[in-house]
Amino acid sequence: MQRARGFGEVLRARGLRRTAQRELVLAALADLGHATPEDIAGRVQRQAPDVNLSTVYRALDALVEVGLVARGHLDRAAASYHLVEHADHLHVLCEGCAAMAEVSSAEASALAARIEELSGFAVDVRHLLLRGRCPACRESPPGS
């Protein structure tokens, strides 16, 4: 359970370094849950105004590469990131109002098993983002 220590090790194991910026990005993600690069940069810059947006992008790439962070895809123009340790549930995004629900990823394990049986593909359901409509928006269809 020593996140901070494991963090440095995991990076070093791949020839990457532990830096203040990368820690700030992790802290921002822990704080925000899931967020876009810009959200993360904003949060980080409250503590370190000089951290550049491109550094956030590069930090996110590094953290995804070592497996500490996962990338989602909210819509065509906005990537979404979250901590892997925070990813024991899948997200359902409402296409009407952008509300987000969370469901245990265990619910999807049967589907994952079936897909593997049928296609041989290993699906990682821990980082799954589904789209749907929340109870309130179900009454007002998309093209109304």
Partner DNA sequence: TTAAGTGCAAACAATTTGCATGGCA
Partner DNA sequence: TGCCATGCAAATTGTTTGCACTTAA
* CB of residue 63 to DNA, shortest distance in Å: 10
* Separation of alpha carbons 34 and 11, rounded Å: 22
Q: What is the DSSP letter of 135?
A: T
Nearer CB in complex with its own copies: 79/83: 79
Interface residues with DNA (CB under 7 A)?
A: 8, 11-12, 15-22, 36-38, 48, 50-55, 57-59, 61-62, 76-79
Residue 15, amino acid: G
44 touches 24 (CB < 8 A): yes
State yes or no: 137 annotated in a binding site: yes
> Distance between CA 88 and CA 137 in Å, rounded?
26
User: Which residue is associated with the tokens 């009454």?
Assistant: 139
Site for its own copies, residues 37 to 96, rule: CB under 8 A: 65-67, 71, 73, 75-76, 79, 92, 94
CA distance to 15, 39, 55, 89, per residue, from 32 (Å): 28, 8, 18, 16
Residue 94 annotated as binding site: yes
- Residues contributing to the annotated binding site for Zn(2+): 94, 97, 134, 137
- Residues contributing to the annotated binding site: 94, 97, 134, 137
Q: Kindly list the residues in this chain that would bind its own copies in the complex (CB under 8 A).
A: 14, 65-67, 71, 73, 75-76, 79, 92, 94, 101-103, 107-108, 110-111, 114-115, 118-125, 127-128, 130-135, 138, 142-143
